[in-house]
Structure 1
Amino acid sequence: MKKTILTFGLISGILASLMMLAMLPFFKYFEHGNMGMVVGYTDIVLVALLIFFGIRSYRDNQAGGVITFGRGFAIGLGISLISCVLYVAAWEIVYFNFMHGSMDNYFARLVEKAQSSGGTAEAIQAKVASIRHSQQLYENPLVNSLYTFIEPFPVDLLITVISAAVLRRKTRAGSVAATA
Protein backbone atom coordinates (compact mmCIF):
# COMPACT_ATOMS: atom_id res chain seq x y z
CA MET A 1 0.00 0.00 0.00
CA LYS A 2 2.80 2.41 0.89
CA LYS A 3 4.53 1.81 -2.43
CA THR A 4 1.32 2.56 -4.36
CA ILE A 5 0.68 5.73 -2.36
CA LEU A 6 4.24 6.93 -2.78
CA THR A 7 4.44 6.09 -6.48
CA PHE A 8 1.12 7.64 -7.49
CA GLY A 9 1.53 10.53 -5.05
CA LEU A 10 4.94 11.44 -6.47
CA ILE A 11 3.76 11.11 -10.07
CA SER A 12 0.67 13.21 -9.31
CA GLY A 13 2.62 15.86 -7.41
CA ILE A 14 5.32 16.15 -10.05
CA LEU A 15 2.72 16.33 -12.81
CA ALA A 16 0.72 18.98 -10.91
CA SER A 17 3.88 21.02 -10.38
CA LEU A 18 4.91 20.73 -14.01
CA MET A 19 1.45 21.76 -15.22
CA MET A 20 1.53 24.76 -12.88
CA LEU A 21 5.00 25.71 -14.13
CA ALA A 22 3.84 25.35 -17.73
CA MET A 23 1.06 27.86 -17.06
CA LEU A 24 3.31 30.51 -15.47
CA PRO A 25 4.25 32.23 -18.76
CA PHE A 26 0.52 32.87 -19.26
CA PHE A 27 -0.03 34.13 -15.69
CA LYS A 28 -0.28 37.78 -16.69
CA TYR A 29 -2.84 36.99 -19.40
CA PHE A 30 -5.16 35.18 -17.02
CA GLU A 31 -5.00 38.01 -14.45
CA HIS A 32 -6.74 35.71 -11.94
CA GLY A 33 -9.91 35.87 -14.00
CA ASN A 34 -12.31 33.12 -14.87
CA MET A 35 -10.08 31.68 -17.60
CA GLY A 36 -7.24 31.21 -15.12
CA MET A 37 -9.55 29.38 -12.74
CA VAL A 38 -10.93 27.16 -15.50
CA VAL A 39 -7.46 26.19 -16.72
CA GLY A 40 -6.11 25.78 -13.19
CA TYR A 41 -8.91 23.59 -11.93
CA THR A 42 -8.95 21.58 -15.16
CA ASP A 43 -5.29 20.80 -14.51
CA ILE A 44 -6.08 19.89 -10.91
CA VAL A 45 -8.88 17.51 -11.94
CA LEU A 46 -6.72 15.86 -14.60
CA VAL A 47 -3.92 15.28 -12.12
CA ALA A 48 -6.40 14.07 -9.48
CA LEU A 49 -7.42 11.26 -11.83
CA LEU A 50 -4.18 9.58 -10.75
CA ILE A 51 -5.93 8.97 -7.42
CA PHE A 52 -8.44 6.75 -9.22
CA PHE A 53 -5.68 4.90 -11.04
CA GLY A 54 -3.67 4.49 -7.84
CA ILE A 55 -6.59 2.95 -5.95
CA ARG A 56 -7.39 0.70 -8.91
CA SER A 57 -3.75 -0.34 -9.23
CA TYR A 58 -3.62 -1.32 -5.57
CA ARG A 59 -6.91 -3.23 -5.79
CA ASP A 60 -5.97 -5.13 -8.93
CA ASN A 61 -2.25 -5.73 -8.37
CA GLN A 62 -1.77 -6.02 -4.63
CA ALA A 63 -5.13 -6.76 -3.00
CA GLY A 64 -6.25 -9.61 -5.23
CA GLY A 65 -9.06 -7.60 -6.79
CA VAL A 66 -10.71 -6.79 -3.45
CA ILE A 67 -10.76 -3.42 -1.70
CA THR A 68 -12.99 -1.79 0.89
CA PHE A 69 -14.13 1.80 0.74
CA GLY A 70 -11.98 2.59 3.79
CA ARG A 71 -8.81 1.13 2.28
CA GLY A 72 -9.47 2.89 -1.03
CA PHE A 73 -10.11 6.14 0.81
CA ALA A 74 -6.88 5.78 2.78
CA ILE A 75 -4.88 5.16 -0.39
CA GLY A 76 -6.50 8.10 -2.17
CA LEU A 77 -5.94 10.37 0.81
CA GLY A 78 -2.26 9.40 0.95
CA ILE A 79 -1.83 10.06 -2.77
CA SER A 80 -3.63 13.41 -2.36
CA LEU A 81 -1.47 14.53 0.53
CA ILE A 82 1.80 13.75 -1.24
CA SER A 83 0.58 15.39 -4.43
CA CYS A 84 -0.60 18.53 -2.62
CA VAL A 85 2.62 18.86 -0.63
CA LEU A 86 4.70 18.72 -3.82
CA TYR A 87 2.38 21.23 -5.51
CA VAL A 88 2.70 23.59 -2.54
CA ALA A 89 6.48 23.22 -2.45
CA ALA A 90 6.71 24.07 -6.15
CA TRP A 91 4.49 27.15 -5.72
CA GLU A 92 6.44 28.37 -2.69
CA ILE A 93 9.72 28.15 -4.58
CA VAL A 94 8.31 29.85 -7.66
CA TYR A 95 6.35 32.55 -5.82
CA PHE A 96 8.96 33.67 -3.32
CA ASN A 97 11.91 33.43 -5.75
CA PHE A 98 10.52 34.42 -9.12
CA MET A 99 7.02 35.90 -8.82
CA HIS A 100 7.07 37.69 -5.50
CA GLY A 101 4.47 40.44 -5.55
CA SER A 102 2.62 38.99 -8.53
CA MET A 103 -0.57 38.84 -6.48
CA ASP A 104 -0.59 42.61 -5.98
CA ASN A 105 -2.77 43.13 -9.08
CA TYR A 106 -5.25 40.56 -7.79
CA PHE A 107 -5.57 42.29 -4.43
CA ALA A 108 -5.77 45.72 -6.12
CA ARG A 109 -8.72 44.47 -8.22
CA LEU A 110 -10.42 43.18 -5.08
CA VAL A 111 -10.02 46.61 -3.49
CA GLU A 112 -11.44 48.32 -6.61
CA LYS A 113 -14.37 45.93 -6.63
CA ALA A 114 -15.04 46.57 -2.95
CA GLN A 115 -14.89 50.33 -3.45
CA SER A 116 -17.28 50.25 -6.40
CA SER A 117 -19.73 47.80 -4.82
CA GLY A 118 -21.60 50.48 -2.95
CA GLY A 119 -22.59 50.52 0.66
CA THR A 120 -21.67 52.71 3.56
CA ALA A 121 -18.22 54.24 3.79
CA GLU A 122 -17.57 52.23 6.96
CA ALA A 123 -18.54 48.95 5.29
CA ILE A 124 -16.33 49.65 2.28
CA GLN A 125 -13.45 50.68 4.54
CA ALA A 126 -13.83 47.48 6.58
CA LYS A 127 -13.88 45.36 3.41
CA VAL A 128 -10.76 47.10 2.06
CA ALA A 129 -9.00 46.64 5.41
CA SER A 130 -9.86 42.94 5.29
CA ILE A 131 -8.44 42.63 1.77
CA ARG A 132 -5.25 44.43 2.78
CA HIS A 133 -4.93 42.09 5.78
CA SER A 134 -5.29 39.07 3.48
CA GLN A 135 -2.62 40.53 1.22
CA GLN A 136 -0.24 40.84 4.17
CA LEU A 137 -1.02 37.30 5.29
CA TYR A 138 -0.27 35.99 1.78
CA GLU A 139 3.32 37.19 2.22
CA ASN A 140 3.78 34.81 5.15
CA PRO A 141 5.13 31.51 3.72
CA LEU A 142 3.07 29.40 6.14
CA VAL A 143 -0.20 31.15 5.29
CA ASN A 144 0.75 31.16 1.61
CA SER A 145 1.31 27.40 1.85
CA LEU A 146 -2.09 26.87 3.46
CA TYR A 147 -3.84 28.97 0.80
CA THR A 148 -2.05 27.01 -1.91
CA PHE A 149 -2.85 23.66 -0.26
CA ILE A 150 -6.58 24.37 -0.25
CA GLU A 151 -6.61 24.87 -4.02
CA PRO A 152 -6.18 21.21 -5.04
CA PHE A 153 -7.03 19.37 -1.81
CA PRO A 154 -10.86 19.68 -1.88
CA VAL A 155 -10.86 18.46 -5.49
CA ASP A 156 -8.52 15.61 -4.57
CA LEU A 157 -10.72 14.71 -1.61
CA LEU A 158 -13.83 14.59 -3.81
CA ILE A 159 -12.04 12.41 -6.38
CA THR A 160 -10.84 10.18 -3.51
CA VAL A 161 -14.35 9.64 -2.17
CA ILE A 162 -15.80 8.96 -5.61
CA SER A 163 -12.94 6.64 -6.59
CA ALA A 164 -13.07 4.69 -3.32
CA ALA A 165 -16.84 4.23 -3.74
CA VAL A 166 -16.67 3.24 -7.41
CA LEU A 167 -13.70 0.88 -7.03
CA ARG A 168 -14.71 -0.91 -3.82
CA ARG A 169 -15.15 -4.61 -4.28
CA LYS A 170 -15.83 -7.13 -1.52
CA THR A 171 -15.18 -10.25 -3.55
CA ARG A 172 -12.91 -11.10 -6.42
CA ALA A 173 -14.43 -10.39 -9.83
CA GLY A 174 -14.36 -14.01 -10.98
CA SER A 175 -15.53 -15.55 -7.69
CA VAL A 176 -19.00 -14.00 -7.86
CA ALA A 177 -19.81 -15.81 -11.09
CA ALA A 178 -18.36 -19.08 -9.78
CA THR A 179 -20.57 -19.07 -6.70
CA ALA A 180 -23.78 -18.02 -8.47
Structure 2
Amino acid sequence: MLRFILNYGTIAGLMIGAPTFTLFVILRENHPGGAAGMAIGYSIMLFGLSMVFLAIKRRRDAQGGVIRFWPAFGMGLAISLVASVFYILAWEAALAITQVDYIGAYINAAIAEKRAQGASAAELAQFAAEMAAFKAQYADPLFRVPMTLTEILPVGLLVSLVSAGLLSNARFLPARRVPELA
Protein backbone atom coordinates (compact mmCIF):
# COMPACT_ATOMS: atom_id res chain seq x y z
CA MET A 1 0.00 0.00 0.00
CA LEU A 2 2.83 2.41 0.85
CA ARG A 3 4.44 1.83 -2.54
CA PHE A 4 1.08 2.43 -4.22
CA ILE A 5 0.65 5.73 -2.33
CA LEU A 6 4.21 6.84 -3.07
CA ASN A 7 3.87 6.03 -6.77
CA TYR A 8 0.62 7.93 -7.25
CA GLY A 9 1.73 10.72 -4.92
CA THR A 10 4.93 11.14 -6.91
CA ILE A 11 3.06 11.24 -10.21
CA ALA A 12 0.63 13.81 -8.78
CA GLY A 13 3.50 15.79 -7.29
CA LEU A 14 5.35 15.92 -10.59
CA MET A 15 2.14 16.94 -12.39
CA ILE A 16 1.85 19.84 -9.95
CA GLY A 17 5.47 20.69 -9.18
CA ALA A 18 6.88 20.72 -12.71
CA PRO A 19 4.41 23.26 -14.16
CA THR A 20 4.51 25.36 -11.00
CA PHE A 21 8.31 25.53 -11.09
CA THR A 22 8.50 26.03 -14.85
CA LEU A 23 5.90 28.80 -14.98
CA PHE A 24 7.42 30.66 -12.05
CA VAL A 25 10.94 30.45 -13.48
CA ILE A 26 9.91 31.39 -17.02
CA LEU A 27 7.60 34.23 -16.03
CA ARG A 28 9.72 35.43 -13.08
CA GLU A 29 8.53 38.93 -12.33
CA ASN A 30 5.86 38.96 -15.06
CA HIS A 31 3.81 36.20 -13.49
CA PRO A 32 0.06 36.71 -13.41
CA GLY A 33 -1.06 37.85 -10.02
CA GLY A 34 -4.40 38.11 -8.31
CA ALA A 35 -7.33 36.08 -9.55
CA ALA A 36 -5.64 34.95 -12.77
CA GLY A 37 -2.60 33.62 -10.93
CA MET A 38 -4.78 31.81 -8.41
CA ALA A 39 -6.93 30.29 -11.16
CA ILE A 40 -3.85 28.98 -12.95
CA GLY A 41 -2.30 27.65 -9.73
CA TYR A 42 -5.40 25.90 -8.46
CA SER A 43 -6.13 24.46 -11.92
CA ILE A 44 -2.66 22.91 -11.91
CA MET A 45 -3.31 21.51 -8.43
CA LEU A 46 -6.67 19.99 -9.44
CA PHE A 47 -5.09 18.50 -12.56
CA GLY A 48 -2.34 16.81 -10.54
CA LEU A 49 -4.62 15.75 -7.71
CA SER A 50 -6.85 13.96 -10.20
CA MET A 51 -4.39 11.13 -9.55
CA VAL A 52 -6.11 10.69 -6.17
CA PHE A 53 -9.32 9.74 -7.95
CA LEU A 54 -7.50 7.43 -10.36
CA ALA A 55 -5.58 5.73 -7.55
CA ILE A 56 -8.69 5.10 -5.46
CA LYS A 57 -10.53 3.78 -8.52
CA ARG A 58 -7.64 1.47 -9.40
CA ARG A 59 -7.40 0.20 -5.81
CA ARG A 60 -11.16 -0.37 -5.70
CA ASP A 61 -11.06 -2.29 -8.99
CA ALA A 62 -8.17 -4.44 -7.71
CA GLN A 63 -10.23 -5.28 -4.62
CA GLY A 64 -13.14 -6.66 -6.58
CA GLY A 65 -14.96 -3.37 -7.15
CA VAL A 66 -15.49 -2.44 -3.49
CA ILE A 67 -13.73 0.07 -1.24
CA ARG A 68 -14.94 1.59 1.99
CA PHE A 69 -15.04 5.36 2.50
CA TRP A 70 -12.41 5.72 5.26
CA PRO A 71 -9.69 3.60 3.61
CA ALA A 72 -10.31 5.43 0.33
CA PHE A 73 -10.21 8.80 2.08
CA GLY A 74 -7.02 7.90 3.96
CA MET A 75 -5.33 6.79 0.78
CA GLY A 76 -6.39 10.01 -0.95
CA LEU A 77 -5.01 12.12 1.89
CA ALA A 78 -1.72 10.22 1.87
CA ILE A 79 -1.34 10.74 -1.88
CA SER A 80 -2.19 14.42 -1.40
CA LEU A 81 0.50 14.76 1.26
CA VAL A 82 3.14 13.24 -1.01
CA ALA A 83 2.06 15.58 -3.83
CA SER A 84 2.18 18.50 -1.38
CA VAL A 85 5.83 17.79 -0.64
CA PHE A 86 6.60 18.07 -4.36
CA TYR A 87 4.64 21.34 -4.56
CA ILE A 88 6.57 22.80 -1.63
CA LEU A 89 9.90 21.69 -3.08
CA ALA A 90 9.01 23.21 -6.46
CA TRP A 91 8.02 26.50 -4.83
CA GLU A 92 11.15 26.65 -2.68
CA ALA A 93 13.37 25.80 -5.66
CA ALA A 94 11.71 28.44 -7.83
CA LEU A 95 12.17 31.10 -5.15
CA ALA A 96 15.81 30.12 -4.64
CA ILE A 97 16.68 30.03 -8.35
CA THR A 98 14.90 33.18 -9.47
CA GLN A 99 15.60 35.30 -6.36
CA VAL A 100 12.32 37.07 -7.17
CA ASP A 101 10.86 39.05 -4.29
CA TYR A 102 7.47 37.40 -4.66
CA ILE A 103 6.22 38.43 -1.25
CA GLY A 104 7.36 42.03 -1.83
CA ALA A 105 5.30 42.19 -5.03
CA TYR A 106 2.35 40.64 -3.18
CA ILE A 107 2.62 43.23 -0.40
CA ASN A 108 2.90 46.13 -2.87
CA ALA A 109 -0.25 44.92 -4.63
CA ALA A 110 -2.10 44.57 -1.30
CA ILE A 111 -1.10 48.10 -0.26
CA ALA A 112 -2.15 49.48 -3.66
CA GLU A 113 -5.51 47.73 -3.26
CA LYS A 114 -6.00 49.27 0.20
CA ARG A 115 -5.12 52.67 -1.21
CA ALA A 116 -7.62 52.21 -4.07
CA GLN A 117 -10.29 51.31 -1.50
CA GLY A 118 -9.79 54.74 0.04
CA ALA A 119 -7.89 53.83 3.21
CA SER A 120 -6.62 56.78 5.25
CA ALA A 121 -2.92 57.53 5.59
CA ALA A 122 -2.91 56.15 9.14
CA GLU A 123 -4.63 52.94 8.03
CA LEU A 124 -2.16 52.56 5.17
CA ALA A 125 0.79 53.10 7.51
CA GLN A 126 -0.52 50.49 9.95
CA PHE A 127 -1.21 48.03 7.12
CA ALA A 128 2.26 48.62 5.63
CA ALA A 129 3.82 47.91 9.05
CA GLU A 130 1.82 44.68 9.35
CA MET A 131 2.90 43.66 5.86
CA ALA A 132 6.56 44.43 6.67
CA ALA A 133 6.30 42.11 9.68
CA PHE A 134 4.69 39.48 7.45
CA LYS A 135 7.55 39.81 4.95
CA ALA A 136 10.07 39.21 7.73
CA GLN A 137 8.16 36.10 8.81
CA TYR A 138 7.89 34.83 5.23
CA ALA A 139 11.69 34.98 4.88
CA ASP A 140 11.90 32.17 7.48
CA PRO A 141 11.43 28.73 5.84
CA LEU A 142 9.85 27.42 9.06
CA PHE A 143 7.05 29.93 8.47
CA ARG A 144 6.97 29.76 4.66
CA VAL A 145 6.81 25.96 4.24
CA PRO A 146 3.68 25.43 6.39
CA MET A 147 2.12 28.45 4.70
CA THR A 148 2.80 26.91 1.29
CA LEU A 149 1.31 23.64 2.55
CA THR A 150 -1.93 25.46 3.38
CA GLU A 151 -2.28 26.38 -0.29
CA ILE A 152 -2.44 22.82 -1.60
CA LEU A 153 -3.59 20.67 1.32
CA PRO A 154 -7.20 21.94 1.40
CA VAL A 155 -7.47 21.11 -2.30
CA GLY A 156 -6.11 17.62 -1.60
CA LEU A 157 -8.56 17.22 1.27
CA LEU A 158 -11.48 18.20 -0.94
CA VAL A 159 -10.40 15.94 -3.81
CA SER A 160 -9.91 13.06 -1.36
CA LEU A 161 -13.36 13.60 0.19
CA VAL A 162 -15.14 13.75 -3.15
CA SER A 163 -13.20 10.82 -4.60
CA ALA A 164 -13.76 8.62 -1.55
CA GLY A 165 -17.43 9.59 -1.41
CA LEU A 166 -18.04 8.78 -5.05
CA LEU A 167 -15.92 5.66 -5.30
CA SER A 168 -17.14 4.07 -2.06
CA ASN A 169 -20.36 3.52 -4.01
CA ALA A 170 -19.68 0.35 -6.01
CA ARG A 171 -22.25 1.41 -8.63
CA PHE A 172 -20.31 4.55 -9.51
CA LEU A 173 -18.00 3.71 -12.41
CA PRO A 174 -18.20 -0.02 -11.68
CA ALA A 175 -15.22 -2.25 -12.34
CA ARG A 176 -15.35 -3.68 -15.82
CA ARG A 177 -14.93 -7.33 -16.48
CA VAL A 178 -12.46 -7.92 -19.22
CA PRO A 179 -13.56 -10.74 -21.54
CA GLU A 180 -11.04 -13.51 -21.81
CA LEU A 181 -9.51 -14.13 -25.19
CA ALA A 182 -10.00 -17.60 -26.65
User: In the alignment, is the contact (CA less than 8 A) between 1:138 and 1:144 conserved in 2?
Assistant: yes
What is the aligned partner in structure 2 of residue 177 from structure 1?
Answer: none
What is the aligned partner in structure 2 of residue 131 from structure 1?
Answer: 131
Alignment coverage as a number of residue pairs? 173
What is the aligned partner in structure 1 of residue 54 from structure 2?
Answer: 53
What is the aligned partner in structure 2 of residue 156 from structure 1?
Answer: 156
C-alpha displacement of 1:68: 0.6
Aligned mates of 2:118, 2:42 — CA distance in 1: 31
What is the aligned partner in structure 2 of residue 42 from structure 1?
Answer: 43
Q: RMSD across aligned C-alpha pairs, in angstroms?
A: 2.2
User: Structure 1 stretch 115-124 or stretch 134-143: which is displaced more?
Assistant: 115-124
User: Structure 1: which 5+ runs fail to align?
Assistant: 175-180
Aligned mates of 2:50, 2:94 — CA distance in 1: 25
C-alpha displacement of 1:98: 2.6
Aligned mates of 2:166, 2:41 — CA distance in 1: 26
User: In the alignment, is the contact (CA less than 8 A) between 2:28 and 2:98 conserved in 1?
Assistant: no
The 3-state SS of whatever aligns with 2:102 is: coil
What is the aligned partner in structure 2 of residue 16 from structure 1?
Answer: 16
User: Structure 2: which 5+ runs fail to align?
Assistant: 177-182
The 3-state SS of whatever aligns with 1:103 is: helix
Aligned mates of 1:31, 1:8 — CA distance in 2: 29
User: In the alignment, is the contact (CA less than 8 A) between 2:64 and 2:175 conserved in 1?
Assistant: no
C-alpha displacement of 1:134: 1.3
Normalising by structure 2, we get a TM-score of: 0.84
C-alpha displacement of 1:100: 4.3
- Identical counterparts, % of pairs: 28
Aligned mates of 1:22, 1:86 — CA distance in 2: 13
What is the aligned partner in structure 1 of residue 117 from structure 2?
Answer: 117
User: In the alignment, is the contact (CA less than 8 A) between 1:9 and 1:79 conserved in 2?
Assistant: yes
What is the aligned partner in structure 2 of residue 144 from structure 1?
Answer: 144
Q: Are 2:26 and 1:28 aligned? A: no
